[in-house]
Structure 1
């Protein structure tokens, strides 16, 4: 019941939330920031790390963080919801896993770090992180995937 209520709260805030700064980078590569927060195309099978930064005030006041993925032409989908303590309170399961997707909180930089290992075509799209309890969204970070 608690998880369902949290999911419903996040859903409502998704429709009403604001945005803040985001940074994306390919593992081992320098990050590139542009208006769309895209770091280009990655090859299937690579590992991608995305860093979603919040202001220190928003970060300190939030109680949980939700990772949302939106594929081109589809509705947004919650992937992971994580309390600040690190406890996962929601995890979407599919054949391509969330087991390949991890989320950790970096308290030293007021950020949420998302890692996707063994990227597949279904990972393509835009990723957002929501700071629960304060109603703030990061800007979207675009991921494009190719076979080669």
Structure 2
């Protein structure tokens, strides 16, 4: 959840870099930029705005009657740091992320992860009674982690 909020915060900074906006405009623009795959809620956007305010990355424009947010100096610095790390277009990544999260593959992956978590909890509970079982479970998890790391590394070498 925190990772998603961080991505939303970064998106908000990008929007405010274009021009000051109020919360509803931000929500609508985030949805538009995702191609309709992401529907920003007040429960996500307003806490993200509050955190960005607390971090002094954004500020309210004075004397506007509405809460209009603008990018602060720290927010501009954060955007510069991000753009130095990533060479791809933020909004292309934003849209691709939400398209993927709404894909059949992502749905299947979430289902398999849920099954994995349930079985892992059962295995942990069962292993509490037997130290050998616990050792085997630890070894299994370490082997699985190593396989995932190798797969990630292999994919990184392919790109």
Q: State TM-score, norm by structure 1.
A: 0.24
Larger radius of gyration: 2
Name the structure with the higher strand share.
Answer: 1
The structure with the greater share of residues assigned to helix is 2
TM-score by length of 2: 0.23
Say which structure, 1 or 2, has more relative contact order (CA 8 Å, 6+ apart): 1
